[in-house]
Amino acid sequence: MRIHSLPIQLVNQIAAGEVVERPSSVVKELVENSFDAGAGQITIDVEQGGARLIKIRDDGCGIIKEDLPLALSRHATSKIATLKDLEQVSSMGFRGEALPSISSVARLTLISRTGNADCAWKINADGTEQGFDIQPDPHPQGTTVDVRDLFYNTPARRKFLKTEKTEFAHIETLIKRMALSRFDIGFTLAHNQREILNLRPAATGIEQEQRIAGICGSEFIENSVKIDFEASGLKLTGWVGVPTFSRSQQDMQFFYVNGRLIRDKLVSHAVKQAYQDVLFHGRQPVFVLYLTLDPVLVDVNAHPAKLEVRFREGRLVHDFLFSALHRSLADLRPGHNVGQVSDSISPQPELESLPLRSDLKAKSVYSNPYPHQALLPLNVEEAVKTYALLYPPPLQKQQQSREAPPLGYAIAHLHNIYILSETATGIILVDAHAAHERVTYERLKQQFQAGPVPSQPLLLPIKIKVSSAEADLAEQEQEFFSLLGFELNRSGPETLILRSTPALLGNTDMETLIRDVLADISEHGASSRIQEQANHILATIACHGAVRAHRRLSIDEMNALLRDMEQTERIGQCNHGRPTWIELSINDLDKFFLRGQ
């Protein structure tokens, strides 16, 4: 057949195949347009899961009458004009594809009014980009887009829609995620004339946390750390869940780049690294995070639906995210409130050292440290009720004369496993083995990282066959390998020779490790596999070296461990991600015994 031009409507329908996957895709594109219009309130009405009706109304700046036909034409936009604009996009939409694509697969009506106009103007579209009839309308300032009978003229695509309940669930999830990105905007969502969401603008920090609690649940806020880090022109704010508050799925992970919700392998890798030795196996962290950076440093034009981005300085972004999250989790110690961690944490006043350990100092008390640790299994609560009365001696005079440290003072060793400690606000239970394991592990890591990594020569050098690209990469990263205790040299176009390895790694499969490290560097610009391998060995050493369960500890030994815990990073979990301690406040104890009721 001869080459010919496609009809405009068909071109728009092809574009719709990328932009309009399902009703929620239409909602996303239209709500993002409302964001760009400066809306303060957005109302979304949906019927039959969006298949019958999607109506989105905002109070934004509106569109002038003369521009309405252009708004419904391909690649017509007010948001970019030159290549330079495209390289530093700050708006949510910019390609000019959404409205004509939607109109080619649905019955679309656009009504809009600017602030100084005498009336609004209404226009209908069918994707042909011609035959527009513009009529006046009493609509107030802002814009309404009415989309009916989605895929009415593409029945094959309509068959792919799921049930009404499923399609609306996608829309509701989407609006919740978008509401997390713009606290300054109010959102109302209705389905079949029934209001489902009504979120008012959230200006203050408390109102923002209330919105997050309404979307993610109150437990998320109670078990999360608010962070605020800034470095190298990058800023990361938001909330990250403590490691003991995790999920089996990745359904509570929200990451925004300059206000845009995205999915990105680089981001996922950085988060995974930050949680790697504090999260229980198979669990997923929870977070709501906002990365702000110069629009020049991120390409938002990498995906038709703008769900993925491409960072121009990927390694910088990765290392920044890892450092910010790693530090926020490390700072979760007794005495640090869950709720705020930032890059400007003030040093806290210290207490005098205890007579039994002159080299340790305890941090000053905060109210209710680690509130998430109060989530106790019933058997532990029963143990506390039973044993609290069996160990009634008051605090020693020397302890009574000073303010109690965050984890208090030991009063019993329950079943030779759990330390029972009395604090100023209640009691603490500590798994002695798990806590000592984390303390030992962190000290071993510090020693390992403190100086040059000890290296040992191999009796027989290992020849590793790689691709020429991998050999080039190994040559470029020779200094990186050397600092970690490897002597790795190129001996041919596709051959590497490994002569020395870090002494700590022992009988590790070095050839596989080197290949995996090179793959990581190629994919992410960095690799933590060597450190992870070393940490795994150190964790094993710490586990075997920690105090064993059922070994009876003296009061002095228990207090020494409590003081160590107060000074140790990531002490909330052992090396395997299990909690090391939990708290019962006096109020919790009163509830158990119905006091005051």
pTM: 0.71
**Region 461-479 average pLDDT:** 90
Summarised one tens digit per residue, pLDDT across range 45-91 is 999 999 999 999 999 999 999 999 999 888 788 887 787 877 778 88
Q: Which residue has the higher pLDDT, 302 or 249?
A: 249
- Residues comprising the chain, all counted: 597
450 pLDDT above the threshold of 70: yes
Domains of the chain are 8-199 (3.30.565.10), 205-330 (3.30.230.10), 361-597 (3.30.1370.100)
Ramachandran class of 283: left when φ > 0, alpha when ψ lies in -120 to 50, beta otherwise = beta
Separation between Cα atoms, residue 214 and residue 133, nearest integer Å: 43
Give pLDDT, residue 178: 96
Per-residue model confidence as pLDDT tens digits over 273-282 = 888 878 887 8
If DSSP codes are grouped into helix, strand and coil, which group holds residue 554? coil
Q: Across the beta sheet with 495-502, what order do the strands follow?
A: 455-465, 495-502, 487-492
pLDDT at 401 over 50: no
- The residue that leads in pLDDT, 336 or 425, is 425
Q: What angle do CA 308, 312, 314 make, to 5 degrees?
A: 80
User: Band of the pLDDT at 369, cuts 50, 70, 90?
Assistant: very low
d(CA 96, CA 78): 9
- Residues 25, 93: contact at Cβ < 8 Å? no
State CA 545 to chain mean position distance: 34
What is the pLDDT at residue 353? 27
CA 323/CA 314 separation, integer angstroms: 14
pLDDT at 244: 83
Burial zone of 503 (CB within 10 Å; 0-12 exposed, 13-18 middle, 19+ buried): exposed
Residue 371 pLDDT grade (very low, low, confident, very high; cuts 50, 70, 90): very low
**Angle at alpha carbon of residue 241, lines to 305 and 308, rounded to 5°:** 15
Residue 357: exposure state from Cβ atoms within 10 A (0-12, 13-18, ≥19) = middle
For residue 279, CA distances in Å to 242, 285, 568, 574 come to 9, 8, 17, 9
